Structure formats: structure tokens, C-alpha cells
A and B are shown apart, each in its own frame.
Chain A
Amino acid sequence: MTTTTEPAYDYADLPRLMGRMTGAEKHGPAATSTLDALWVLYDRVLDVTPERMDDPGRDRFLLSKGHGPMAYYAVLAAKGFLPVEWLEDFGSYDSPLGHHPDRVLVPGAEIGSGSLGHGLPLAVGTALGLKARGQSEARVWVLVGDAEMDEGSNHEAVAYAGPAGLERLHVLVIDNASASYARPGGIAARFEAAGWSAETVDGRDHEALYAAFTAPHPGRPRVVVARVEPKEYAGEPKSA
């Protein structure tokens, strides 16, 4: 698998990288909603590099909300997981980069996603597996959308992981107010009720995101709800 080492890209380069992907404008708002949170994670929080993708002790990032993966691909390219040149053919027959990512095709992608409600249960299992293998340092992050939290599978995972004390597990909820029925009390309250450590921050504020991502939470899984501007359209069913 081709990977690029020593990338020289920064946050300011991401719009240009995303601009290289064409033909999927409908994914635009869904893609940019995750951009800042993804950047802060990959730039300052996650302990993973392209060279360490076979290292069982690496941190795992699972993109559950696979819709609108342009920001994800741009960050992976910026960090050298995949060649920047791949971005040009986004969505084409010969491209490894689809409108939903495939872990078998995309270097750096821990899961293939598209259908909502799969990443969080997979992350629970991955956290359990790393614990069973004695990888005590490795952390698991999973990104979900606020509407994705409607899926019952996510409720199963939230209700289990809190009482089970899965402290390596982290959920990042990108809240662009896309759920048809807002949650009374807010998203974080649902997690807190299940025993999670929870915090809600401005999803565009890099320092706030970093502080929330790195806050200690001994004995409990952690959720960070990153609020971003509401989605401007409702073009795709279940676009999370």
C-alpha cells in the first residue's frame, strides 16, 4: 500500500485538499461539519501514524458517520496516510476513495462505513479487544453524527459501555442539529445518564476541542459533543 511520509500540510491546506475532490458537492456540509474536530484529533491527540497502521498499540479512529468523508480524506492525505493525488479521482471506479470509505481500500481507515449505527458497537468491541490483548495505552475514538444517535444500535452501545467502564472508549458526536427530533436535555445528557464522562464544546474552536479531547476520565468512557452550525440542506436521506 502506497503511503506518503513527511507530509507538509497544515490546517490551512485542508480547503485546498478538499477542493481536489469533485463531483460530490451534496456532501459538502456533512463533510465540513467534521473538519475541525478531525484535524485536532489527528494533529494533536491521536497516537497513530501511517507507518504504525500494523502496530496493535496504535490509537484507533473509527469514522462511523461515513457520509461526506471529504474532510476525513483530506486529513488522512494531509497526515500522509494516503497520497494527495488520490483525492482527484474521488468516487470514480478506479479510485479507492468512495463517497463512503472502505477500510480495505483506504490506508488509515479503521472501518468501512456508510450505514449508520455500526461504528460505535465496533468501537466497543475494539476497546474490549485491546484491553484483552493488554494494549493498555491504545485509545479508541469513534465519530458519529447527532442524528446517527437515533439508531438503536448506538443506544445499545452507550448503555453497555458506561456501566462496563470502558475508559479507552471515546465518542465524538458532531452535532449539526440534523436529528428530526431533538433530544430533551441534549445529547450529552443521554451519555451522562449511562455513566459516561461528557462535555459539549464549540466544534470550531480548536483549543476547546483539544481540552475536551484530552480531559481525564478515569473508569468511564468519554463523549465529546462538538456543536457546529446547522446543516443548510436536507438533500440526502439519513445523511446524519
Chain B
Amino acid sequence: MDTMRDRLAPVLTRLLDEDPRVAVVLAEIGKDGFTEAMRDHPDRVINVGIREQLLVGAGAGLALAGLRPVVHTFASFLVERPFEQIKLDFGHQGVGGVLVSAAASYDWPAGGFTHMSPGDVALLDTLDGWTVHVPGHPDEAEALLRHAVAAGDDKVYVRLSVQANEQALAVDGARFLPVREGRSGVVVAVGPMLDQVLAATEGLDVSVLYATTVRPFDEEALRRAVGAGPSADVVIVEPYLAGTSTSAVNDALADLPHRVLGLGVGRRELRRYGTVEEHTAAHGLDAASLRGRITGFLGERTRAGVVS
């Protein structure tokens, strides 16, 4: 299977052809895919060199001039290093744009912590008005990239990862999808975590919701999945910093007694290299670990529906 990032240049190349408002800004990383687009649209495919503050500032400047900028590099250098540029050059100026990251939380474990960004979505949560797409499959990445570019002057973050589910689902850039129904709790699986969550909850009497657009948070879908009961138990499994969306779940269920367990990437730096799978296990996000943590939280009643 190709990766989400493999789709980036082909999709944007088509959008550059279709829409004269679209511009792409790069800082060396990812430029090889844009060779043809750079030749066809030299004024709208811009490589600023290894300059991430300029990358984001220039992207916002393009928006000030009326274009729809798509700004791409690794998440560490896109969201963390030039964070004030995101806050001020887009947010405070009141202009929009599309930020597309790669490398995610630990896509390149052998590269070490400098290229890991588990905190990107939590950082964007400190700002107002960002839509956040976390696709779980290359097909979904393609669909969500198109949604992001077409979203008027909205501020949109698209988080691409090499971690992916086997099957793509029909995501619409807004809603959570109900994937499984049960009575003893709701598990929200974000993007690439779906396969692990489905394996972890196999045979359990729980509902599973699939979220690929996490901001704004689909409160209605969560309320529907929780049902009319007097209380609710919710687990949210995210491929970035554990607990990032816990407050969003709390807000959605503010008028209902509820418990929330936020699972995701741990805050502690592992200082380990190795493989994606090894890091997934180390953060307790493999199917077996998830099953233990989910059943431990929800209790024995989750097994009520199990047919042995």
C-alpha cells in the first residue's frame, strides 16, 4: 500500500491545475514530488529552503494576497518550531490556510525524537478555529486533503502518517462514523488507530466510533453513540498525545455523569529507535494492550455480549 504522503503531491498537483487560487509552500522537505507542478506553476509552488518560520509566515502572506496556501513539512517543523507564526500569521491576521504534516508521532522511529511530534494536535487546541483532519488510510487522506483545500478560507490541519488501517471508509471531512454498536461503553478510534481498536474490542459489548475529523469534535455522534442512559463511559484512542481530546469528550457530555479514558502516545520520551510497531506497543496502543486497558476501565460488563 502507498502511504498517505504519497498522495500529497499528486492530489495537490491536480488542485493546482484546477484552481488558480491554490498555492503550495515547501521548505525543501517533500519537494521532489512537485517537480512537474513547479514547472507548470512556478509562481504557485514555492520552496523557501530550510526556513520554517518563513514557510509559515510566507504561507500566511499568500493568504493575505488572496491565495489558498497549502503549507507542508514534517509535523515537528510545521507546528512546533514555528508555532507563534501559526498563532499570529494565520490566527491573529484572520486569514486561512492548509497545513499538511508528515512524520506524525513516530513514523520514523529510527530517526529518533527530533522527528516525532505527538503534541501537534494538543498545541493546535490552544488556538481558535482550526479544523483538524487525521486520516486513517491513504484514500481518506486524499479525500480530506480535497476537503481541506476546498474549505473556503478556513484554517485546516491535515495530519498524514505512515500508520494506516487496512480499509478506507467513506469519510466526509466532518462526521464521526459508527463502526460497531454495543451497550457497555463507547470507544472512539481516531484515524490510524481504528484497526487496533477493532481488534482490541472484538467480542466486547461496546460501540466503536471512527473519527478522522477531530476538530471540530463531532459531539452529536458521541451523544448518539452514548445513548439515552443515565451515564456514559467513553474511551478515546488517539495516535498522538494521550488525553488530547479528553476535554472535547467532557464538553460533549457536560450534562451527563460520565467517565473518560484518554489513550494515546505517552508524554515520556522513550529514547528508543526501532520500528513503528515497537513504539505502538511501547505506548500501549497495540491491540492486546488496548484490550486490557479498555476492559480494565469499562469493567466486566463489557463482556456481557461475548459469545464464547
Contact = CB atoms under 8 A, between A and B. Distances in A.
Binding between chains A and B: yes
Contacts of B44: 132
Contacts of A117: 53
A126 B84 contact: no
A133 B44 CA distance: 9
Interface residues of B, number: 30
A94 B67 CA distance: 32
A153 B85 contact: yes
B64 A128 contact: no
Contact of A126 (B25, B53, B61): B61
Given A103-B93, A118-B85, A153-B85, A127 B48 contact: no
Contacts of A128: 23, 43, 46, 58, 61-62, 65
Contacts of B94: 103-104
Contacts of A124: 48, 54, 57-58, 61
- Interface range for A: 20 to 34
B88 interface: yes
B64 A111 contact: yes
Given A131-B43, A132-B23, A159-B51, A121 B58 contact: yes
A133 B67 contact: yes
Given A104-B94, A111-B93, A125 B64 contact: yes
B146 interface: no
A157 B61 CA distance: 12
A160 interface: yes
Interface string A100-120: 001110000011100101101
B49 interface: yes
Given A121-B85, A122-B60, A122-B61, A132 B53 contact: no
Given A112-B88, A121-B57, A129-B63, 8 more contacts: A56-B66, A60-B64, A117-B53, A124-B48, A124-B58, A129-B66, A153-B57, A156-B51
B59 interface: yes
B67 A132 contact: yes
A91 to B, nearest CB: 18
A126 B63 CA distance: 8
Contact of A125 (B43, B49, B59, B88): B59
A115 B46 CA distance: 25
A130 interface: yes
Interface of B: 23, 25, 43-44, 46, 48-49, 51, 53-54, 56-67, 69, 84-85, 88-89, 92-94
A182 to B, nearest CB: 24
Contacts of B89: 118, 121-122
Interface of A: 56, 60, 102-104, 110-112, 115, 117-118, 120-133, 135, 152-153, 156-157, 159-160
B54 A157 contact: yes
A104 B59 CA distance: 19
A60 B62 CA distance: 13
Contacts of A153: 53-54, 57, 85
Contacts of A130: 65
A188 B171 CA distance: 53
B206 to A, nearest CB: 46
Nearest to A152: B53
A115 B62 contact: no
6 contacts: A112-B92, A115-B84, A115-B88, A121-B58, A121-B89, A156-B49
A144 to B, nearest CB: 13
A130 to B, nearest CB: 5
B54 A156 contact: yes
A122 B66 contact: no
Contact of B62 (A111, A129, A160): A129
B53 to A, nearest CB: 4
